[in-house]
Chain A
Amino acid sequence: MNTVRRIRRRLLSLLLVAPLVAAAACSGNSGSGGDDEHVTLTYAIWDQAQAAAMKQIIQEFHGKHPNIDVQVQVTPWESYWTKLQTSVTAGTGPDLFWMTMVYAKYYAAGGGIAPLDDQIKKSKLDMSAYVPAVTKAYTFGGKVYGVPKDVNGFGLCYNKLLFDAAKLKHPDDSWTWNDVVAAAQKLTDPQKGVYGFVAPEADELSWYLTVPQVGGQVISPDSTSSGYDQDATIKGIQFWTDMITKYHVSPTLQQTTDTDPLAMLTSGKVAMRYCGSWEPEEIAAVPYGKANIGIAPLPAGPDGNRNYYSNGLANSMSAKTKHPDQAWEFLQFLGSDRAAEIQAKTGTVIPAYQGHADAYAKAMPEFDLQVFVDHLKYAQPFPASTDTAAWRDAATKQFADAWTGKAPVADVSRRVAETMNQALAKEKK
């Protein structure tokens, strides 16, 4: 009996030990090695449309550095940031990842991404090759936290077929807000369910483009107070709500929530939509869109002002990566002339590495992509603070009342300013 019990006890202790052994085995191979060690880096991105270009970049990089494998992880935007934050916190995150201006300061200040100055100095990476506005947006306290990847320009996408049917002149660079409204009114045909314009409630693709055109601001230049209570800002937002509640030339917020506004454009349900430089590829994927959509310069503000808030991405390195040297090698290649060329030729993005805008502009002969490139010179830094997410989502949620006409834009906007200022005050603590 005693021996049996002893054996049992031993069996039990073996059971208990098994997971520990497994854990030890897992952590065993993470030790550091020399330069010639074979490592696999993970690289997180959110845009499936760009995955092909990224894979081509990786392939060429691997040709030059056979000891470094890179795995791409594509996570859709909706869950990219929650996944990234939890995995970086847990130390299991990707070695390199796409960063946006929205979250850059948060990751830099919180120690999620690594400053790159030492490496930049050591490898003599020429930072002046990139669009200065993008580099600046990823520089905090004099330190660079990302190698610029791309930059966004905007334009007016319009349906040539519908314009011709209404015998209207196609939009050109002389257009201002009034021209948009006038054309939208003529193009709207309730009987056919066609709207002249679409006014989604999507900051980056709506009021971030018009607020700067009338001298308004979303956040003060020092990122300490909200600009939503300024009259100019409210005017820039009202451009959008008027399209729905005053002129009735746009689908309602409920309609644009149910159906993607870009799909409305490429199916002939709306005649005009403000588009970003990353979208032509998606438009061309729909035969109707490829055949009938034209791209014109983004209409200027009432006084001819063309400023807009531009986001641009960078590639950043996790502060917790186990292979900083290899990660830097790949990061450098991602920021290289060649990587920019590969991306430009797909027509998916305008590379932040200057000198490849032409390749982007010519990537899709069916569209006038030069429009987006020309727009870049009016780019203003994207509204961001340390914890942008804390007020940006709340703003979108609150502005719904203005879009549905439940409350006047001015009231809603002042309410948004209040909440945003509270969030900004909390940030300082």
Chain B
Amino acid sequence: MSGQGTATVPADPLTDKPAGQRARTAGRPRPPTRDSGWWAAVLLLPAAVGLLVFEIWPTFQTIYYSFTSWGAFGGHAWSGLENYRTLIADSDVFHAIVNTAIISAISLLAVPLSAVVAALLSLPGMRGVTIYRTLYFLPVVTLPAAVALTWKYLFNGDYGLINWLLSKVGIDGPHWLSDPATAIFAISIVGVWGSIGYNMVIFLSGIRGIPTDYYEAAELDGAGRVAQFFHITVPLLTPSIFFVTVITVINSLQAFDLVYLMVGQTSPAITRTETLVYLFYQRGFAEHDGGYAAAIGVLLLLATLILTAAQFRLQRRWVHYG
């Protein structure tokens, strides 16, 4: 749930128009010449090489490896569809899909939450904005291991701060992380908490791009703060919301670190929390079955592609560009 994407951020909804439109309104001084294209290529080269070597090439390698079985220390042999046959029959894979879906669904809560936080921080006359912004952003720049460890102490069933507070109001809290019924919610909450800061920054810049005229006009018409939020901020923020939603879904599909660090293999809650990436790690690195792990990876790739494509399809119905 960490490792935020580095894609470009459509910070300002007003300039984030489809390419053709933008060219007309912004009126670029001169069209890109062949020469400047050449330089662009040179400047892009380091990034492109990195992408090719560390992202794209391994993707194809993974697809290839998913049709192989692995030796202990290197070496692999073609095994056809064997891994996929095992995949279909593996009940752990089924659990992992369900768990990943639950985590993704809960993690989407972060989208409206961070939109509200950003809107509140943008209110005129709001004091200490920088402090709040820093506080909310802290989890993003904190090591996932430190985050997980701290929350693990908070969630401890017998000695954790959360259950101690609950006991003050007469509630006997569960063993959040080791109870199969609650563990997945506990780690999802941490995921949501951890992603608010990143989303907030995107929304903050999105809100800043909304002309104040709209709010002034709405105020003249007698719209309150809440009405303004729903009728001006939200619609004009939809490009940012769309971007954040896509990133959130992709990140939550890759949930691993919190499961690995906060639950772990020996916990009774692991079957109810292990995600596809966790299973990939377990099969590939702990149980030395690289080919099978690659097949799980391909499954995850397909799921990500389908979900993201679906979101791009659906965006036409609700995203307003300008």
A175 at the interface (CB under 8 A from B): no
B4 at the interface (CB under 8 A from A): no
Q: Are A89 and B73 in contact, CB atoms less than 8 angstroms apart?
A: yes
Q: Are A82 and B72 in contact, CB atoms less than 8 angstroms apart?
A: no
Q: Are B266 and A257 in contact, CB atoms less than 8 angstroms apart?
A: yes
B74 at the interface (CB under 8 A from A): yes
Q: Are B72 and A254 in contact, CB atoms less than 8 angstroms apart?
A: no
Digit string of B252-276 for contact with A (CB within 8 Å is 1, else 0)? 0000000000001111111100000
Closest 6 CB pairs of A and B: A110-B72, A257-B178, A400-B268, A254-B175, A254-B178, A82-B285
Digit string of B146-158 for contact with A (CB within 8 Å is 1, else 0)? 0000000001111
In the bound complex, residues from chain B placing their C-beta under 8 Å from that of A389 are 286-288
A: number of interface residues (CB 8 Å): 36
In the bound complex, residues from chain A placing their C-beta under 8 Å from that of B267 are 257, 400
Q: Are B265 and A396 in contact, CB atoms less than 8 angstroms apart?
A: yes
- Please, how many angstroms separate the alpha-carbon atoms of A227 and B297 in the complex? 34
- Please, how many angstroms separate the alpha-carbon atoms of A106 and B268 in the complex? 28
Q: Are B288 and A258 in contact, CB atoms less than 8 angstroms apart?
A: no
Contact A81 B178, CB 8 Å, known A258-B156, A397-B270: no
- Please, how many angstroms separate the alpha-carbon atoms of A15 and B178 in the complex? 53
A26 at the interface (CB under 8 A from B): no
Q: Are A254 and B157 in contact, CB atoms less than 8 angstroms apart?
A: yes
- Please, how many angstroms separate the alpha-carbon atoms of A259 and B179 in the complex? 13
Instruction: Tell me the nearest residue of chain A to B69, going by C-beta.
Output: A429
B45 at the interface (CB under 8 A from A): yes
List 25 contacting pairs A-B, 8 Å CB cutoff, sorted by A: A85-B285, A109-B72, A110-B72, A111-B72, A111-B73, A112-B73, A193-B158, A201-B268, A254-B268, A255-B158, A257-B175, A257-B177, A258-B155, A258-B160, A258-B178, A387-B287, A387-B288, A389-B287, A390-B287, A390-B288, A393-B287, A397-B270, A400-B268, A400-B270, A401-B268
Q: Are B72 and A259 in contact, CB atoms less than 8 angstroms apart?
A: no
Digit string of A225-264 for contact with B (CB within 8 Å is 1, else 0)? 0000000000000000000000000001111011100000
- Please, how many angstroms separate the alpha-carbon atoms of A404 and B270 in the complex? 13
Give, as a whole number of angstroms, the nearest-CB distance from B80 to chain A: 15
In the bound complex, residues from chain A placing their C-beta under 8 Å from that of B157 are 254-255, 258-259
Q: Are A253 and B285 in contact, CB atoms less than 8 angstroms apart?
A: no
Q: Are A81 and B156 in contact, CB atoms less than 8 angstroms apart?
A: no
In the bound complex, residues from chain B placing their C-beta under 8 Å from that of A400 are 267-268, 270-271
- Please, how many angstroms separate the alpha-carbon atoms of A390 and B45 in the complex? 43
Among A106, A112, A254, A403, max chain B CB count under 10 A is at: A254
Give, as a whole number of angstroms, the nearest-CB distance from A7 to chain B: 13
Q: Are A397 and B175 in contact, CB atoms less than 8 angstroms apart?
A: no
